[in-house]
Amino acid sequence: MERYSKDIYSFCCYLTRNQQEADDLYQDAFVYVLGTSEFPEDDEDAKNLMLSVALRQWKDKKRKYARRQRILEESYIPREVAKADMAGTDSVEEEIIRQEEVQRVRACVEKLPEKMKVVVLLYYMENRKMTEIATMLHLPLGTVKSRLYKSRELLERELLSGVKGGHDQ
């Protein structure tokens, strides 16, 4: 159950790219769900509900605050990342390399168009099935599959070009 809150919070962090907004979104999503008439008893269903609510609220917020400038935290590193990444490493140098790769992958995911990023986060971060993602986003299954496939291609290309650039130096 502890992982539950971590999952939702991590999702909010990646959606918003801003810690304060992530806190707000996380809080709002829970507050909203508490006000609904039914809360699923099944863990996975409950998680799906929370994620759907967070997504919907995020879309509403973006529409509402569209006129305001958002200050992106360029070097935003979610909490606990450093600790978790440090676990099980053999040397400082290996760890630094590993962390660089982690940051590179994350940066590439960040750059994805929003529609694709959401699908990637739900699939890889939240371990949702494609059918579940389709239900949550009110999309045809084919659309979800297509967005996931295109996202993978984009990310592969982006990561490969990054590696090549490094070698050229």
Partner 1 sequence: MKDIDRKLYETLSPKMQPDAELNRQILNLAKEDHIVTMQKNKKRKHYPAVAAAAVAVLLASSATTYAVVNYMSTKEVAKETEDRKLEAAFSSGKAVSLNKVQEQKGYQVRLLGMISGKDLSDYEVTDEEGKARDDRTYIVAAIKKTDGGILGEEDFFASPLISGYRQQDMNIATLCGGATSFDSEDRTTRYEIIDTDNIEPFADHKIYLAVQNGGFFDRDKNGQQGYLYDEKSGTYSRNTEYDGVNALFELPLDASLADHKKAEQILHQIEKDQKEAAGETETESEKTVYEFMSGLTPENIGEYATPLESTRLTCKPDSEGMVSWSYDMGKNGQAQGKESMDNLFPDGSCGMSRCLGYTNADQGLEDLYIHTFTLNKDGSVTFLVYVPKK
Binding site for partner 1 (CB under 8 A): 1-7, 9-11, 13-14, 22-24, 26-27, 30-39, 41, 46, 64, 78-81, 84, 101-102, 105-106, 109, 120-121, 124-126, 152, 155-156, 159
Q: Is the dihedral of CA 68, 103, 88, 118 positive or negative?
A: positive
**Shortest Å distance, C-beta 142 to partner 1:** 20
**Cβ atoms of residues 162 and 107 within 8 Å:** no
- DSSP code, position 121: I
User: Would you say 7 or 95 has its CB closer to partner 1?
Assistant: 7
Q: What SS3 state is found at 55?
A: helix
**Shortest Å distance, C-beta 7 to partner 1:** 5
User: Would you say 28 or 143 has its CB closer to partner 1?
Assistant: 28
User: Would you say 78 or 143 has its CB closer to partner 1?
Assistant: 78
Distance of alpha carbon 28 from alpha carbon 54, whole angstroms: 8
E strand or H helix at 166, and its extent? helix 141-168
